[in-house]
Amino acid sequence: MGKKLYLNFLWHMHQPYYKDDMAGYYAMPWVYLHAIKDYYDMVWYLSSHPKLKATFNLVPSLLVQLHDYETTAVNDLFIRTLSKEVELLSNEERLYLMEFLFFAQKETMIAPIGRYAELYRKVENNKNTKERVKLLEDNELLDLEVCFLLAWCGEYLRENSPLVQKLLTQYYFTPEEKRGLLEELADFIKQIVPFYKRLQENGQIEISTTPFYHPIMPLLMDPNNAALANSNVLMPNNPLAFQEDADEHVSRAIAYYEELFGKRPKGVWPSEGSVDNESLSRYIGHNLVWACTDEAILFKSVPESYRELIYGRCRLKNSEGEIALAFRDRSLSDAIGFDYSRMNPEAAASDFIGRLRRIYEGEEGSRQINVILDGENAWEFYRKNGKDFFDALYRALESADWIVTQTMSQASVNPEVREIVIDSIIPGSWINGDFAIWMGQEEKNRAWELLYQAKRDFDKVRGSLDADAVKFIRKELMIAQGSDWYWWFGDTHYTVQKGEFDQLFRKHLKNIYLLMNQAIPENLYVPLITYQTHEVHTLPKNTITIGNNGLHSSFFEWMGAGEFNLEKMGSVMDSSTPFVKKVLYGNDTKKFNIALVGNFDTLNDKTRILIHLDGVVYGEFPFKYTLSDTMMIRSGKSFVEISVPIETLPGEHFDLGILLAQGGEMLQNIPFHGALTIDMSNRFPGHWFI
């Protein structure tokens, strides 16, 4: 057959469980929104290139929720409110919608729809109006509702739904058109799972599973795994193991998969790529034949490991049996997830193929590469929901006769690549090879402690409860074990809906006490979230005049600067190469000044900085000292200063993006997604220094 490069894609589809089963309603509509935008589109893109294969991981708790959204009668707070006639909305409902209906990326989702952009500007320019509830007339709010739904419609709907196509040509909308659109979208959601099933049956894709409610299995089975992965972690008090629940997450996932797809799954993407020896033995016991995790786990687990190991096959063998392990190539996976959204689609595809080529030519013999990443959250940062990028990438892959795409099951037994056998691994996840995103900070640990408390109180009375109550309580416990709650607690990631996640997490635990007919503990009424949005973005407090020496030479030089804390701006995904931790900014009468704060020891003269203003490349410059008509850059080991003449800026309001690149590869997008919105019209009222 000759030397080949085998490419194994795994697209992970997941949303947390947003439903309060006791109250019978969905608190947040993100499953619905990604259903109309991403879940169908991702397999549709691939189906247009029938020579290619890939694996799609569908989390069971996501599939359960998708089924509920197959009708407009779903009891979802957002859809229920949106479905009302606008003139019947209460002031509270209007304010709720006016906030939620702008949860869309400005550049790729709002700006392309003229009416949506107009309403965005009106609300944004009057966001401090005291009577905000009266800001939009009834007809404007109706238009905003329809525009929001259209913005979240994926490319398949835009190309194949006559109704969506018609509405996208309009500027104003009627209540009947809104109702028709909601019905059309519910009917569309019914097609998603059958489409996956059909493509799996014809052999183009493989569908894998995850423990049911997406728990971090190693932390569930033994919380001490957090310390084994990172000895500096701060552990929660009085931790417990959930062995029974861990097994239930796996067995229920397999049973539900069989119910939907008519056969057992062969493989598993462990939640967050989190693995340890015990959880892998659990998968072996359930006859799963492959699992995936991050490259960091292999490098930590195999003495004297080297990068070439991830380009072969790996098999874990222990007393329980064996399981194939696939380790994700972090750089390639993160390039798609974080970097390529700012590039021309053809250039991005060319960059990806170029990276593959360098790996292919690296040594004798065939290799295989595992590209594993979130399958739904990156595309709103791409133009046209990523369609042009995928078309360019998939065309390039089809035309490269040295590349063969495979499913993960095929990759697990590929005889053309070498195999290593190991008998043990070090616990860890896909982020930094440890569990710090989910355990170790005060808010995260308090959440675990509330879960442990509920478990202990349940165990005390379990024997006196009837079977239905026990079943329901165990379900609430398992939902509260999902990784997403702990992801949002603490300062590792930020969303404006952190408070809603906090409330829903504690609601699941409160339900346990209601089912036990016990008083709800007072600590379940105390919010876990203490982290505020202003800690992510601080506005400038005064003008900034700097010396451009890259050294942060004076305490007063950057005092009062605006600040974007990138570590706290992490979204539902995470980057693995955070050279820049913070971006400071400000201006004087002549220059707009930027400082990058981080660790730049490994960067050199070959590193380049690309500046984007309002989505257009403003300039590309060497990382070290640069002086030109349009920019000055000076770099130190932890501080980079950049100055831009004010007259060259696009205006007082613009979006800033920064890219670090080296040797033809992108190192970091700043921020991870989207752009940093700059407002230079602020004259600092109320911020005078005395």
Work out the average pLDDT over 191-195: 98
Q: How far apart are CA 11 and CA 27, in angstroms?
A: 26
Model confidence over 7-21: pLDDT tens digits?
999 999 999 999 999
Res 42: pLDDT? 98
Q: Which residue has the higher pLDDT, 550 or 609?
A: 609
CATH of the domain at 539: 2.60.40
Q: Which pLDDT does position 493 carry in this prediction?
A: 77
Express each pLDDT in 101-111 by its tens digit.
999 998 899 99
User: Given the structure tokens 């409330």, which residue do they identify?
Assistant: 503
Q: Are residues 524 and 563 in the same domain?
A: no
Q: Which residue has the higher pLDDT, 193 or 576?
A: 193
pLDDT digits (tens, 9 = 90+) for 462-507: 999 999 999 999 999 999 999 999 999 987 777 778 889 999 999 9
What pLDDT does 556 receive?
54
For the chain, the average pLDDT equals 89
| Predicted local distance difference test score (pLDDT) of residue 599 | 80
Whole-number pLDDT of residue 564: 82
Q: Same domain for 467 and 580?
A: no
603 and 646 housed in the same domain? yes
Per the model's pLDDT, the better-predicted residue between 668 and 296 turns out to be: 296
| pLDDT exceeds 70 at position 551 | no
pLDDT in tens, 572-592: 444 444 688 888 888 877 888
Domain range spanning residue 561? 535-679
pLDDT in tens, 609-624: 888 887 677 777 777 6
Of 40, 69, 76, 94, the C-alpha closest to 186 is: 69
Quote the pLDDT of residue 336: 94
Q: What is the CATH number of the domain that holds 453?
A: 1.20.1430
Burial class (CB in 10 A: 0-12, 13-18, 19+), 421: exposed
Across 14-18, 225-229, 601-605, least confident range: 601-605
Q: Measure the CA–CA gap between 251 and 166, rounded to whole angstroms.
A: 46
Residue 379 and residue 36: Cα distance in Å, rounded? 13
Picking from 531, 546, 580, the residue at the C-terminal end of a domain is 531
- Final residue of a structural domain among 531, 549, 576: 531
> pLDDT tens-digit profile of 27-86?
999 999 999 999 999 999 999 999 999 999 999 999 999 999 999 999 999 999 999 999
Whole-number Å distance between alpha carbons of 666 and 675: 17
The CA angle 93-95-100, to the nearest 5 degrees, is 95
In a domain, 119, yes or no: no
> Other C-beta atoms within 10 Å of 474: how many?
17
**Residues 519, 569 share a domain:** no
Q: Are residues 549 and 640 in the same domain?
A: yes
| 520 DSSP assignment | P
Q: How far apart are CA 508 and CA 518, in angstroms?
A: 14
The Cα–Cα gap between 642 and 633 comes to: 5
Q: Do 519 and 548 share a structural domain? A: no
What beta strand segments (E) does 130-240 contain?
205-208
| Residue 159 within a domain | no
Q: What is the pLDDT of residue 633?
A: 65
Domain shared by 517 and 608, yes or no:
no
Residue 622 inside a domain? The answer is yes
Residues 475 and 544 in one domain: no
| pLDDT of 550 | 44
Lowest-confidence range among 144-148, 186-190, 620-624? 620-624
Pair (518, 547) in one structural domain: no
Q: Per the domain annotation, does 60 fall within a domain? A: no
Which of 89-98, 383-392, 615-624 is predicted least confidently?
615-624
Q: Is residue 138 part of a domain?
A: no
pLDDT of 335-357, one tens digit each?
999 889 889 999 999 999 999 99
CA angle 284, 289, 295 (to 5 degrees): 95
User: Is 317 contained in some domain?
Assistant: no
* Mean pLDDT computed over 419-429: 95
Are 634 and 517 in the same domain?
Answer: no
Dihedral sign for Cα atoms in the order 548, 616, 648, 650: negative
Report residue 568's pLDDT band, with 50, 70 and 90 as the boundaries: low
Total domains present in the chain: 2
| Domain identity same for 659 and 549 | yes
Give pLDDT tens digits for 510-549.
999 999 999 999 999 999 987 554 467 777 866 777 765 4
pLDDT in the model for residue 466: 96
Of 531, 560, 579, the one marking the end of a domain is: 531
For residue 540, being part of any structural domain is answered with yes
% of the chain exceeding 90 in pLDDT: 70
Radius of gyration of the chain (CA): 26
- When pLDDT is averaged across residues 120-136 and rounded to a whole number, the result is 83
Question: According to the model, what pLDDT value does residue 559 have?
Answer: 67
Contacts of 160 (CB under 8 A, 6+ apart): none
Instruction: Give residue 663's pLDDT band: very low, low, confident or very high (50, 70, 90).
Output: low
Residues 561 and 497 in one domain: no
Q: How confident is the model at residue 601 (pLDDT cuts 50, 70, 90)?
A: confident
Q: What is the mean pLDDT of residues 405-426?
A: 96
Identify the pLDDT of residue 348.
96
418 lies in a domain? no
The enclosing H or E element of 488 equals: helix 483-488
* pLDDT tens string 229-279: 999 999 999 999 999 999 999 999 999 999 999 999 999 999 999 999 999
- Identify the residue with better confidence: 420 or 553: 420
